[in-house]
Structure 1
Amino acid sequence: MNFHTRKWIKPEDLNPNGSLFGGSLLRWIDEEAAIYAIIQLGNAKVVTKYISEINFVSSARQGDIIELG
């Protein structure tokens, strides 16, 4: 199963430098992983135990659209 979603970067998602706040991205990744797990397991009672590594390669700015999957 491929699972993808897109997010539009809005002003409330930005850090003081005008780029995407890492916490917003982590929240979206966590939500995406939870939805995937719920669908796979057929059980809505899931929690995030561990995220090993996130490699921030480039910045996203207001108005950009990013794809998670």
Structure 2
Amino acid sequence: MRFHTRKWIKPEDLNPNQTLFGGKLLAWIDEEAALYVTIQLENKRVVTKYMNEINFVSSAEQGDIIEIGIEVVKFGKTSLTLACEVRNKMTRKTIIKIDKIIMVNLGEDGKPSPHGKTKIEFVKDRLNSSKS
């Protein structure tokens, strides 16, 4: 799993127990998944269709640094299925795991559209191939 984003837990990210608010973390995960898929599919029109069971394993406190990891599990015709893990950067303890996030590629009409991708592509490789 590749960890792309780090977040520093600030006072505004906390719940009344003074630990990381789960809703804030889920919003960060949703944004990270959307960014990842947007880059992979080269299309800014992607939406979250589904997240399976969300398992909070541990928490984070103010001052902790967390990192969000995403990996592609499956390429569908109009979708990408991802897995996600969020962990504490310093302790390496898992905070949350989500085994299945389905992101759907949309066409200009706002309806699911085939994306034609079958494997992970890295931006550096796209840039190198466009120079040839």
Regarding TM over 0.5, the answer is yes
Mapped partners of 1:17, 1:41: distance in 2:
39
Letter in 1 for 2:25: L
Q: Percent identity?
A: 78
Gaps of 5+ in 2: 70-132
Letter in 2 for 1:4: H
CA-to-aligned-CA distance 1:5-63 (integer Å, 9 cap, x gap): 00000000000000000000000000000001001110000111111122111110000
The alignment's TM-score, normalised by the length of structure 2, stands at 0.50
Gaps of 5+ in 1: none
Higher relative CO (Cα under 8 Å, sequence separation at least 6) belongs to 1
Change in Cα spacing, 1:3 to 1:37, as seen in structure 2 (3 Å) is farther
Tell me, yes or no, if structure 1 residue 66 matches structure 2 residue 66: yes
Deviating above 3 A after TM superposition, structure 1's stretches of 4 or more consecutive aligned residues are none
Letter in 2 for 1:8: W
Letter in 1 for 2:24: S
The alignment's TM-score, normalised by the length of structure 1, stands at 0.93
Which protein is richer in strand relative to its size? 2
> Which residue does 1:28 correspond to in 2?
28
Per the TM alignment, residue 4 of structure 1 is displaced from its structure 2 partner at its CA by: 1.2
- The higher radius of gyration belongs to 2
Alignment RMSD (CA, Å): 1.4
> Which residue does 1:5 correspond to in 2?
5
Which protein is richer in helix relative to its size? 1
